[in-house]
Structure 1
Amino acid sequence: MSKTIKAKRKENGLTQEELSLKSGLGLRLIREIEQGKTSMRMDKVNQLLQLFGMELIPAPKTTYNE
């Protein structure tokens, strides 16, 4: 997810600061997300993803049997 958000930000020509302002989220959170922070509130992530027409949804964990 962190790579996707960073890529979308760059595709849209935004700095982290601009993304922070547009999303209403703190700059620190934007940086943590892009650096791969492993735990965060889903509503905050969706607030950010909404700018790019995306949404994070719960899904069953996929397991692979050998």
Structure 2
Amino acid sequence: MGATNDDTGKDGGYGRIASVEQLGRVIRLKRKEIGLRQEVAAGMTGVGTKFLSQLENGKETAELGKALQVLKKLGLELYVFPRSADPLKEH
């Protein structure tokens, strides 16, 4: 499951995030890759199990600060750049 220029939802892997649902899928994917139950991952990342569940399910109103905290603790990075400078775009 490599990075693609397409939505992450197509292959379930990492790559461009265009929706909160895709962000949630990437978080769930990483959590499962490292073999953590949701309860353990929530404790490890400093959020509640309910929050992590909602985040993984694409809740639109999930608190950004907590979402960034989860990403960091799971070893994921979030980058923002202009579309014209998309490093994943095929040349």
The separation in 2 between residues aligned to 1:37 and 1:59, in whole angstroms, is: 23
Structure 2 unaligned spans of 5+: 1-22, 85-91
- % same residue: 34
| TM-score with structure 2 setting the length | 0.59
Kindly indicate which of the two structures has a greater share of residues assigned to helix.
1
What do you get for the CA RMSD once the two structures are aligned? 1.8
Range with greater deviation from structure 2 (39-48 or 19-28): 39-48
Which residue does the alignment assign to 1:49? 71
TM-score, normalization: structure 1? 0.78
Q: Which ranges in structure 1 are unaligned for 5 or more consecutive residues?
A: none
Give the number of aligned pairs: 62
Asked whether 1:25 is paired with 2:43, we answer no
Is the CA contact (8 Å cut-off) linking 1:9 and 1:19 kept in structure 2?
yes
1:61 Cα deviation from its structure 2 partner:
7.4
Greater relative contact order, per chain length (Cα 8 Å cut-off, separation 6+):
1
Find runs of 4+ consecutive structure 1 residues off by over 4 angstroms. Answer: 57-62
